[in-house]
Amino acid sequence: MIKEFQFSFDELNINPEDLSEFLGFTDGVVPEPFPEIIQEALKDAPQFCEIKGGYKIFDSIEVNLKEDTFRIGNQTFLPSKIVTTHLKNSTYAAIFICTAGSEITNQAKELTNNGDTLLAYIFDVIGSVAVEKATDRIQNSLKNELQKSEHNISDRYSPGYCEWDVAEQQKLFRLMPHNFCGVALSKSSLMNPVKSLSGIIGIGTEMEQKGYQCHWCTDKNCMYGKIKKQKKA
């Protein structure tokens, strides 16, 4: 089963606090000149976002905990132990792709070329927040749909995070329709548009969302891990 979604920017309810968190301001204090620039960017952002995404459900997934692999269709994945451990009770799975579109990145590039690097950075962050929030909505829609059959879902996992090699994105895209939701993949496994997400969600009667266990992960550059550590501090 394939399901696709499209969202307006306003539907995602992105607010200054969302951007502040991504910018690293987690103590509630946002220094000048950020508040005014954030408000300016949020006002203009809707015209630069084309937010869409979706998922495809696969009726079989084979998880091998001894080898830390899982298999869907004709593709065998080699993620980290973090991923296979959280997918171990899956009986089937959903592959998702979501994007904020290319125009938000183009706008950030144009602002950079014009010397407005700070506003450009804010637009870049807006693109990241938009695709995260849109993927949240897609994931929640999947969860609500599956609850009718007494199934639940795992947290979502993406190549490039949780010690999962980004190159495995190639295998994910082979399982999806070509150019699904307008997202393409380069030979180096980077998505175009840049502000896009892809990954897997496990499905089963014994699945549950536990939240991301950042203490398991050794990735020092992960934005989500940094935010979580800042909140804890």
Quickly state the pLDDT bin for 221 (edges 50, 70, 90).
low
Quickly state the pLDDT bin for 227 (edges 50, 70, 90).
very low
Q: What CATH class does 2-232 carry?
A: alpha beta
Quickly state the pLDDT bin for 232 (edges 50, 70, 90).
very low
Q: Read off the pLDDT of residues 40-99 as tens digits, 9 standing for 90 and up.
A: 999 999 999 999 999 999 999 999 999 999 999 999 999 999 999 999 999 999 999 999
Closest by Cα among 126, 123, 100 to 113: 123
Quickly state the pLDDT bin for 216 (edges 50, 70, 90).
low
Quickly state the pLDDT bin for 25 (edges 50, 70, 90).
confident
Q: Read off the pLDDT of residues 137-191 as tens digits, 9 standing for 90 and up.
A: 999 999 999 998 999 999 999 999 989 999 999 999 999 999 999 999 999 999 9
Backbone dihedral angles phi then psi of residue 90, each to the nearest 5 degrees:
-70, 140
Pairing assessment for the beta strands 184-185 and 152-157 based on DSSP bridges: unpaired
**14-34 mean pLDDT:** 89
The letter for the amino acid at 43 is K
CB distance 79 to 41 below 8 Å = no
Residue 220 has pLDDT above 90, yes or no: no
Three-state DSSP class for residue 150: coil
Closest by Cα among 68, 7, 70 to 201: 70
Quickly state the pLDDT bin for 24 (edges 50, 70, 90).
confident
Three-state DSSP class for residue 41: helix
Domain residue limits, the chain: 2-232
Structure token digits, residue 52:
């869409």
